[in-house]
Amino acid sequence: MPITQSAKAGLAFALLAFVLLPVLAGGQWVKIFISTGCFILAASGVAFMYARLGMVSLGQVALMGVGGWVMLRMNHAFELPFEINLAVAGAVTLMFGWLLAMPALKMRGLYLALITLMAAGGLEVIFSTFRFPNGGEGFWGVMPSVAAPFRRPFLVSDDTDYLRYIIAAIVAGFLIIELHMRSAPGRAWAMIRRSEAAAYASGVNVVYYKAWAFGLAGFLAGVSGGLLAGGLGLLDPATFRASESIMLFALMIVGGSRGWLGVVIAAALYRVVPALFNDWSIDADISLIIFGAALLHAITTAPNGLSGQLTDLFTKEVKRT
């Protein structure tokens, strides 16, 4: 299987981040990068659905919440290793994604987007009503005061190691997506994007492959939610509001949906920019204004997002020298 230029650059970037980022980042910035990493993984799920299938999913962050909830529930209920809990979180969210997708699979465009948004709204209500498990009694497992400890993966107890763990998980997630792109599902998705008639004429079972895409996106959301739970030890319902799902999708458009750089930019805008503003004692809500301007910029001038513009600029420079 040939390795593309973009893949080489991505792997080099990941390696650089793996080695340097935990060393250079201090204090709360490690936590911010952990959270950014989780959103990179989640955004990759929306991005491939949008770029390859032309499907708009506005429920990704809510699905992250499902993964996070399952992760915390497993952690506080059983003594299982981190990875098993993470796998369960991914699998449950995958099935949850399917369940949501069932009514939506025969729909396209706006209707599909609306159904995912409704689901995100429903989950928002559930999360804010029942909150996230923190070691309490019963099914919902919430106790009013302090939270019980969260078990990190073996040998990955401190935050800098955990950041490296997340970077490795992101690379694995991207490889899973790339593997899909280069095999039968990726080709079937491309035909579905062209038109359903084209897909049928290619013998593609449209409902089956759409469900597969939803499942993969749900799995990525679930794993990223589980990793976020591991990074913070407890989760806040405000993180998973429906508006956050819309925000992540919009920033994915800003960053660009084709390729790794776009989702890295999207997650960095989503998490790092507000944190920087906090650091500089600027109101973090100012970032919303910047996001709006960036979205206008991307929609009017950059069909492949900022990452597309950066890549074009880079190739032009290389050609010149």
Asked if 33 and 238 count as a contact pair (C-beta separation under 8 A), the reply is no
Q: What is the spatial distance between Cα 39 and Cα 22, in angstroms, rounded to a whole number?
A: 17
CA–CA gap between residue 63 and residue 224 (Å, rounded): 9
Applying CB under 8 A, the span of 16-24, 42-50, 191-199, 260-268 interacting with other proteins comes to: 191-199
DSSP-derived letter for residue 240 is G
Vertex 224: Cα angle to 221 and 229 (nearest 5): 125
Residue 179 is a binding residue for other proteins (CB under 8 A): no
- Check residue 155 and report its DSSP letter: T
The contacts of residue 207 (CB under 8 Å, 6+ apart) are: 105, 106
From the list 16-24, 62-70, 197-205, 273-281, the region that binds other proteins by CB under 8 A is: 197-205
- Binds other proteins by CB under 8 A, chosen from 55, 191, 235, 266: 191
By the rule CB under 8 A, 190 interacts with other proteins: yes
Q: Looking at 143, 193, 277, 278, which residue binds other proteins (CB under 8 A)?
A: 193
Tell me which of 10, 41, 48, 52 binds other proteins, using CB under 8 A: 52
Q: Give how many residues touch other proteins by CB under 8 A.
A: 20
Task: Tell me the C-alpha distance between 220 and 214, whole Å.
Answer: 10
Tell which one of 87, 206, 234, 246 touches other proteins (CB under 8 A): 206
Q: Lay out the site mask for other proteins across 254-293 (x = CB under 8 A, - = otherwise).
A: ----------------------------------------
**Token couple for 163:** 């950041």
Tell me which long-range contacts 196-200 makes (C-beta under 8 A, separation of at least 24). 196/108
Instruction: Report if residue 108 touches other proteins, rule: CB under 8 A.
Output: no
Q: Which residues form the interface with other proteins (CB under 8 A)? A: 51-52, 184, 187-188, 190-191, 193-195, 197-206
